[in-house]
Amino acid sequence: MTMPTPTPSTIALGVPDSGIVDIMNYGRRRGNVMPLWAGEGDLTTPAFIREAASKSLVDGETFYTWQRGLPELRQALADYTNRLTGQALDAERFCVTGSGMQAIQIALQLVLDPGDNIIIPSPAWPNIVAASGVRQANVIDSAMPFVDGRFVLDMQAIEDAARDPKTRAIFINSPSNPTGWVADLETLQAVHALAEQHNLWIIADEIYSRFVFGDAALPGTDPKRAPSFKDVAPLSPRIIYVNTMSKNWAMTGWRVGWIEAPVELAQRVENFIQYSTSGVAAFMQRAAIAALNEGDWFIGEQVARATANRDLLVETFAPLNRLQVSAPDGAFYLFFKVVGETDTRSLARRLVDEVGVGLAPGTAFGPGGEQFLRMCFARDPEHIADVANRIARWMSINP
């Protein structure tokens, strides 16, 4: 007699594969592909950051540590944030997480029960939507209309969704991955007012705030940064910020992030950390302290590179009739549509095979972005110039 085997949980059966990993796996098998599919640049973490971790290892910091993070790191997070935004936030608002992704997971657990609604404007980074699914929340995809080469927030659709009593939260990612959309102060103010009116939580993902181009930057900031919810609703009791060391300091592989929330939530954040990963290695945290306290010059260099690449790409692609380009106001992605191509998963594979360039298909980013491709341009400008030319040439011979 064959015994039956138990089935996995509903959630395990329902959780989607990543559409970004799908193309990466396809491309890796082929080899020799310029990898612009992931949200990662080509720079190794600066040596002074790596050395801080190695020194801590030599010093023997290999024991359990504070679940919320080392006090010195929580202070460094507060100092960095205050320096950037002109606030005077207390270190008690900050807890260290094992990646920005984990910060999102914990934020979702903090505010959502199964069956609750969360509004997520799309196109959106797919992991936010998938993690909401793991939480068994209903995701209300609020597709952003693409008007005159720009994505815009559909405030009416958001308000309609907010009226549903099951709606508990809205996720705002500005500057946006993948669209490059950057919310201006008026928009942030409107979203916060709407959240107050309907008593919603806001999960604010401002991880790309340093990567902002042209007029999208908040006037008068030095270094430049995007407008923040902190500018319109400082210390709002309904905002939870998620963040990461990954992008600013080229620490994608490290898996260190943070969550910033009203202090009343700190013990609950600690408990979710305790029962999921139980903290972040102390030697990783030493590296994060070095990055936050001494890494501004490196962010400046990365932003300069991204700005030059952004301008070059827009300049090269804008004249091409077959392309509709969303000129990004922030982040480090070019999100563009190839006229006449509706199956972007297959298009991304052709570009791997025929151009040797790895882009993420818009199908990975939900409603409103299916017909786009996403290119990460946090990379050596020579590579980006070469890729731009190769794609332009391919477009010209594949009309």
Which residues in 41-60 contact a copy of itself (CB under 8 A)? 44-45, 50, 53-54, 57-58, 60
Cβ neighbourhood burial of 159 (10 Å; 0-12, 13-18, 19+): middle
**371 near a copy of itself, rule: CB under 8 A:** no
- Cα–Cα distance between 155 and 225 in angstroms, integer? 24
Output the smallest distance, CB 379 to a copy of itself, in A: 12
296, 302, 308, 312: CA torsion to nearest 10: -160
Q: Residues in the chain, how many?
A: 399
Indicate the residue among 46 and 328 with the shorter CB distance to a copy of itself: 46
**In this chain, which of 40, 79, 141, 231 binds a copy of itself, going by CB under 8 A?**
40
**194 near a copy of itself, rule: CB under 8 A:** no
**Residue (of 165, 173, 187) closest to 247 by Cα position:** 173
**266 near a copy of itself, rule: CB under 8 A:** no
Cα distances from 83 to residues 76, 145, 212, 245, 390, in angstroms, run 10, 35, 17, 16, 41
Cα distances from 149 to residues 210, 213, 314, 328, 368, in angstroms, run 23, 16, 11, 10, 13
Indicate the residue among 276 and 293 with the shorter CB distance to a copy of itself: 276
**117 near a copy of itself, rule: CB under 8 A:** no
Question: Per CB under 8 A, which region of 214-222, 262-270, 335-343, 372-380 contacts a copy of itself?
Answer: 262-270
339, 340, 343, 347: CA torsion to nearest 10: -70
**147 near a copy of itself, rule: CB under 8 A:** no
Contact 299/43 with Cβ under 8 angstroms?
A: no
- Cα–Cα distance between 186 and 228 in angstroms, integer? 11
**99 near a copy of itself, rule: CB under 8 A:** yes
**Residue (of 224, 392, 376) closest to 316 by Cα position:** 392
Largest interatomic CA distance in the chain:
75
Indicate the residue among 67 and 179 with the shorter CB distance to a copy of itself: 67
Within 222-241, the residues that bind a copy of itself by CB under 8 A are 237-238
Within 373-392, the residues that bind a copy of itself by CB under 8 A are none
One character per residue 271-310, x = contact with a copy of itself (rule: CB under 8 A): xx-xxxxxxxxxxx--------------------------
**In this chain, which of 38, 143, 312, 392 binds a copy of itself, going by CB under 8 A?**
38
**167 near a copy of itself, rule: CB under 8 A:** no
**334 near a copy of itself, rule: CB under 8 A:** no
**396 near a copy of itself, rule: CB under 8 A:** no
Indicate the residue among 250 and 323 with the shorter CB distance to a copy of itself: 250
Question: Per CB under 8 A, which region of 11-19, 85-93, 311-319, 342-350 contacts a copy of itself?
Answer: 11-19
**250 near a copy of itself, rule: CB under 8 A:** yes
Indicate the residue among 61 and 79 with the shorter CB distance to a copy of itself: 61
Contact 292/76 with Cβ under 8 angstroms?
A: yes
**In this chain, which of 125, 171, 181, 254 binds a copy of itself, going by CB under 8 A?**
254
CA 24 to chain centre: 18
Count of positions on this chain that bind a copy of itself (CB under 8 A)? 78
Indicate the residue among 96 and 212 with the shorter CB distance to a copy of itself: 96
Exposed e or buried b per residue across 374-390, where buried means at least 16 C-beta atoms within 10 angstroms of its C-beta = bbbbbbeeeebeebbeb
**73 near a copy of itself, rule: CB under 8 A:** no
**In this chain, which of 23, 89, 91, 111 binds a copy of itself, going by CB under 8 A?**
111
